[in-house]
Amino acid sequence: MNREQKRRFIKNAAKNGMTKERAKAYAEISSGTGEHTEAQQFEEGDKLMLNVPIIKARKNYPIMNASYKDFVESSEGTIFTAHKENDNLISLVEEPKWLFWSGDLIKVHITEQSNDE
């Protein structure tokens, strides 16, 4: 997404009720920096993990906030609970400070084991 497209997207998103900050975050995430990942569908409460290699492969990752990078790097293999901000933006119940593009997450299927052994 080029600069003009980002501005147009942010303006239209604001008209449709999305906060300017969220619209900017979404535009940055989907701006084509690094490897493109397809959107995934998550429901409220789904278990997920960060796709750390994909996130770290983004062209803008080296200049991102140091605390964000620390969080991403320390979260490899950690299972989180999804909080659906909108169709493709997901925050984490356990760490709501960060917002993720759904394509940068991995759905985790947890099977329950019985104690009948």
Q: What is the pLDDT of residues 41-77, one digit of tens each?
A: 999 999 999 999 999 988 888 888 899 999 999 999 9
User: Tokens representing 89?
Assistant: 């933006």
Report the chain's mean pLDDT, rounded to a whole number: 83
Is the pLDDT score of 109 beyond 70? yes
Is the pLDDT score of 18 beyond 80? no
Of 4-8, 14-18, 78-82, highest mean pLDDT:
78-82
Distance (Å, whole) CA 17 – CA 77: 34
User: Tokens representing 74?
Assistant: 């320390």
